[in-house]
Amino acid sequence: MKTEGVLYWDQRQECMPRVDLEEQQLQILRRQLAHVHERSPFYRRKLDDAGIRPDEIRTMEDVRRIPFTDKEELRLSQANHPPWGDFGCITPKEAVRVFQTSGTTGRPVRIMLSRKDWYETFYEQFMHFRCGYGLTEDDVLFVPFNYGLYIAWWGFQTAMEKAGLMIIPGGGLSSKDRLRAMLDWGTTAICGTPSYLLYLAETARKNGVDLPGSAIRKMVAAGEPGANILSRNQQFRLRVH
């Protein structure tokens, strides 16, 4: 839905008063806590050890009682209960997609996703992103990541495909070949980490690739700090234009 130049996925939810939004968030959180308490031995232990009953989380102040979970705990869970650990809420039979984290800070954490995770929850989440970035069915999205077990960009690409965008898979190409493919295929939007997008801009400049004259006008950045820092955005625009 588009209102006064702003594209919304769920305008009622996105524009509701703060007090109503917080109450909705608390309701969803209570349902999720009840779900993991029932299905996940790992989170049942954490909540029980903290003396928390899901239905007791009634205010934002109550949220402070919920214990944090760090990645090392998930690694330990999978080491003690290979291969998936005991923190998940689904069985391998229920999984339709499996991924793992990058492993940059230690052993990768394996992830199972159910049909609902993959086809409904991911889609709903990324539709908010799509509207925020102004992406529509008219866009051609170039996705320059190498397809594999690493989860990054898989969900975004799949959701955009389901939303009707044309997807150009850019894995397995050099940066120079990706730039040429972006222009040849009429790309209007690109996604990537801020550092890689800057690298593409530098590669284009060094090789005489005319990015300002191309159809590319939208950029989706994630995976590392920088995309929301004004100086980084200005630097990218200067290098491209």
Query: Per-residue pLDDT averaged across 91-103, rounded?
Result: 92
d(CA 32, CA 43): 11
Total tally of structural domains belonging to the chain? 2
More confident residue, 239 or 213: 213
Q: In this predicted structure, what is the pLDDT of residue 150?
A: 81
pTM of the complete model beyond 0.75:
yes
For residue 190, is it within any domain? Answer: yes
Q: How do residues 194-206 score in pLDDT, each as one tens digit?
A: 999 999 999 999 9
d(CA 205, CA 216): 15
43 and 129 inside one domain: no
For residue 235, is it within any domain? Answer: yes
The one-letter amino acid at 182: M
Q: How do residues 31-65 score in pLDDT, each as one tens digit?
A: 999 999 999 999 999 999 999 999 999 999 999 99
Q: How do residues 139-196 score in pLDDT, each as one tens digit?
A: 999 999 887 888 778 889 999 999 999 999 998 899 999 999 999 999 999 999 899 9
High-pLDDT (> 90) share of the chain, %:
76
221 touches 227 (CB < 8 A) = yes
* Residue numbers of the domain that contains 164: 119-240
130 and 216 inside one domain: yes
Indicate if the pLDDT at residue 235 is higher than 60: no
For residue 26, is it within any domain? Answer: yes
For residue 114, is it within any domain? Answer: no
d(CA 28, CA 9): 19
Query: Per-residue pLDDT averaged across 74-102, rounded?
Result: 95
pLDDT tier at 222, thresholds 50, 70, 90: confident
128 and 175 inside one domain: yes
Omega before 169 within 30 of 0, i.e. cis = no
For residue 110, is it within any domain? Answer: no
For residue 85, is it within any domain? Answer: yes
Q: In this predicted structure, what is the pLDDT of residue 2?
A: 62
For residue 61, is it within any domain? Answer: yes
pLDDT tier at 230, thresholds 50, 70, 90: low
Indicate if the pLDDT at residue 227 is higher than 70: no
142 and 47 inside one domain: no
Considering 73, 89, 105, which residue would you say is the last residue of a domain?
A: 89
For residue 63, is it within any domain? Answer: yes
174 and 79 inside one domain: no
71 and 124 inside one domain: no
62 and 173 inside one domain: no
pLDDT tier at 104, thresholds 50, 70, 90: confident
